[in-house]
Amino acid sequence: MNHMIHYLRLCSILILALVTSCVNPGSSAMRAQQAALLSHDLQQLSTTVSASEADKMATTAIEQSIRISEDYKPIRLAWLNNSLVNMGLRQRGLCYHWRNDLFPPLFKLESKTLKLRLATSSRGKYFEHNAIVVSAKDTTFEQGLILDPWRGGGRLWWGRLGEDKYPWVLLDRKQTPVVLRPMLTPDMVSNQEEKQKR
């Protein structure tokens, strides 16, 4: 019986340690280095990508991911963080929360050479995942980079869409979150507003 009590105490301590171990945002120098690497990868998407726009996009993506992390206070294991959100022990922190909060600051950059889209994987299934794809204006969705702040709990993960472990597809316009529709589908939104006026 004593062994069982000690075992349960040990498990409780380990769970508490996991729950309270937040992601370290890293030093400003480390984040600057990450932004430089991301900018380089963005510029590799096409010769038409502006270096200054890539720099702004990269820095914003890295820094905003950290800011969101400060709000969410996620733990190190993303899937365990999801469980905490689903149990009501955290308010936000699911992959689509990260995506929805990261997208507007990137959109506000008004990049002329980079295009933002929403990506989804295994939509409607247990292992559904959501992220942002950034591609050059003159290339396809499939040639873009995935930006995924959820995976690292605020330390932005990125990689080529076709090389990632998730089978990404473009999120259907009808499934686009209402809060992001004016940014992603301005023509559709303006047409609906016009119809409502008539």
112-131 tens-digit pLDDT: 999 999 999 998 888 899 99
82-108 tens-digit pLDDT: 777 778 887 788 899 999 999 999 999
pLDDT at residue 187, rounded to an integer: 45
Contact between 54 and 46 under an 8 Å Cβ cutoff? The reply is no
Structure tokens at 93: 């922190």
In this prediction the pTM is: 0.80
Structure tokens at 161: 């869409």
Contact between 139 and 46 under an 8 Å Cβ cutoff? The reply is yes
Tokens 């959501």 belong to residue: 130
